[in-house]
Amino acid sequence: MSSDGNNPNSSRKRSGSALCLGLRKKVPSSNPLVLHGRHFGRTVFALYSPIEDYPADVRREHRVFMELIDSYPGLLDRLTNGEEEDVIHAGELLGKGASGVRGDDTKTLKSAVLEWLVPRGQVVIPPLSWNIKSDRGFNHEVTGALLCPAGLDWSNAETKQNLKSGETAVCGDQWPMLLYAGYDYDPKNPWKGLLQSESS
């Protein structure tokens, strides 16, 4: 028996440098998931960028896509395994549905406007029809006053005419009077009463 066999440290120490030791034996695994995991780690994960590294608009689109995939079983399979025409057709159908729901919401809102525009039992003067758009917006006294941007005076004839004709363009950052509590806007404190109207 050699003296190395009696030395408990001999198994832990090897003589020579690590370069002379030769290749280390890999422990073989019979589980295919381990093999797939190794492949994934070398090929896919090495090139993967976390979603947090992408701009906000890309992260939002990814979130929306994942919600869509979760809400429609089989869609991911259809998109990944389908023919190009099938994928295009699926996109067209989803777009058609999304567009249709926006139209439904707008149509519902148009008729609802008449209901909250005036208190129950009262009428709008001049009258508004629920299916005619030409007499709404800035073309009507009541709706024009509500849509008039805060800071402008709807009772001023020139302001009213400029809004009706489109000469005065309303920007997206100009809040309409209908969003303010009591339809009252304070130019010294523009946040006062904002989004506190009974109609908002």
The residue extents of the domains of the chain are 51-115, 118-200
Three-class SS state of 194: strand
| pLDDT tens track for 99-153 | 776 666 666 666 666 677 776 777 778 887 777 778 888 888 888 888 899 989 9
Contact 174, 185 (CB under 8 A): no
User: How confident is the model at residue 158, as a pLDDT?
Assistant: 94
What pLDDT is recorded for position 10?
Answer: 47
Tell me what percent of the residues of the chain surpass a pLDDT of 70. Answer: 69
- Non-local (6+) Cβ contacts of 55 within 8 A are none
Closest by CA to 125, choosing from 142, 109, 137, is 142
Write down the pLDDT at residue 163: 92
d(CA 158, CA 87): 54
Q: How far is 49 from 81, CA to CA, in rounded Å?
A: 24
- At 12, the amino acid letter reads R
**Structure tokens of 63?**
């979130």
How far apart (Å, rounded) are the C-alpha atoms in residues 148 and 160?
Answer: 8
Give the C-alpha separation, 105 to 128, whole Å.
20
pTM of the model: 0.45
Nearest to 183 by CA among 192, 172, 170, 174: 192
Written as tens digits, the pLDDT of the chain (200 aa) is: 444 445 554 445 555 555 555 555 565 556 676 776 776 666 666 666 677 888 888 888 888 888 888 888 888 888 888 888 888 888 888 888 877 766 666 666 666 666 777 767 777 788 877 777 788 888 888 888 888 999 899 999 999 999 988 898 888 788 898 888 988 888 899 888 888 877 65
